[in-house]
Amino acid sequence: MKKKFLLIALIGFASVWAYGQDSSDFSAKFDKWSIDGGIGLTKPWQNFTPGYYAATPDFLVGEIGVRYMMSEYFGLKLDFGYNKFQEADESMAFETNSYRFGLQGVLNLGRMMNFETWTKTLGLLGHGGVGVGYLNYDRTNIDNDWVGNVLTGLTAQIRLSDGLALNLDGSAVANIRQNEGFDGGIGNTKDLGMVFNGTIGLSIYLGKNKTHADWYLRDDEKYKVLDSKIAGLDKRVTDLEDGKANKSDLDNTKGDVDAIAKDVDALKNVEPTSYDEFVKQLVNDGYINVYFDFNSTKVQGASANSVNFMKAYLAKNTGASVEVQGYADELGSDDYNQKLSQKRADAVVKLLTEAGIDGSRLSAVGKGEDTSVDKSSAQARQLARRVTFMVK
């Protein structure tokens, strides 16, 4: 019996710690910087002088940029692009060099669309932004036709290693207020030039963490944390020595650990909306406890984590209410212990309301003595002096 209560206390601590990783205190660890570059084919379109046109596709386009991901979903990129346009076989001769500098926003569409549910090696980025550039026309010796530009595109990714990814990018660039055609002549007077680029290149990830934001899976990291805690608890149960425990007690305790492990495994196969239900089940099954010293209504310092856990849960689940249930050990009279258990429940409610939880969502109930523990055992009586929670 003593082992079982000790296990409950340990699982309570592990649950608090693991759930904290789900809260705003969770610190995701991934690399944020990368250098992205590529080379490929280009096609200028729409703005040409009659008799001039470029090959389909033309060569070449080169791009390089520095990207910073603020999260695994969004980032910014500073980039430079170069295009060289030349005549097709039937066109009159021309050669134009185009240079572009821009700032783009980047969306990790692969994470947003949950690619991780079917692949860990393929990704998809969306990007778009604005910039400035100029065109240099060799045919007419017109230098520096400055233009503004707007760019958008998609990048398919293939993960080669933790530090490297292969990129296949398709982009469209609109040159605004392009005074000349792409050939350097009068063009078609539309002052808007369109360029389509297709490149193959690499992302080189920078940093000391194992994973870059492009591939970071926040939920997988949380599962690893919880799994490691389960493994640690399993080992503790195996190593615990208690002369009063019998084989039945040990089998029951082992079963509790196995049941929690199965719950964790099952959680990996459900949608994120079920996480809170899983946590609610842990709470209602008695794995989250607040402990008190003998004849005291002051929360033990080590139990502050359990109070913080409930505060985080209630702050996240604003529609939930909780019955705070107080208990006392069997020493002393029934009437005294009933009052003591009520005071303990009241004390925890007071802490939660002072932490910002609306008191209307909390109710305090004194349950009196906990008679399920060994009255003669000081360790068991310590586990009886507690407050538990029932989420409604």
- pLDDT tens across 313-364, in order? 898 888 899 999 999 998 889 999 999 999 999 999 999 999 999 999 999 9
pLDDT of residue 218: 80
Average pLDDT over residues 97-107: 97
User: Among residues of the chain, what percentage have pLDDT more than 90?
Assistant: 54
Average pLDDT over residues 275-286: 82
Q: Rounded distance, CA 134 to CA 147, Å?
A: 6
Strand order in the sheet with 322-328: 290-291, 386-391, 322-328, 362-369
CATH class label, 2-26+218-391 = alpha beta
Q: Are the beta carbons of 136 and 183 closer than 8 angstroms?
A: no
Q: Which CATH architecture has domain 33-206?
A: Beta Barrel (2.40)
Structure tokens of 240? Answer: 């615990």
Which of 45-49, 227-231, 377-381 is predicted with the least confidence, judged by mean pLDDT?
227-231
- Give me the residue label for tokens 């799994």: 227
pLDDT of residue 244: 45
pLDDT of residue 14: 42
- pLDDT tens across 254-280, in order? 555 566 566 556 555 555 455 678 788
What is the residue-wise DSSP string for 209-267?
SSSBTTT--HHHHHHHHHHHHHHHHHHHHHH---TT--HHHHHHHHHHHHHHHHHHHHH
Residue 7 above 50 pLDDT?
A: no
Q: Are the beta carbons of 96 and 135 closer than 8 angstroms?
A: yes
The CA-to-CA distance between both ends of the chain, in Å, stands at 28
Domain ranges for the chain: 2-26+218-391, 33-206
Average pLDDT over residues 112-126: 92
Mean pLDDT of the chain: 83
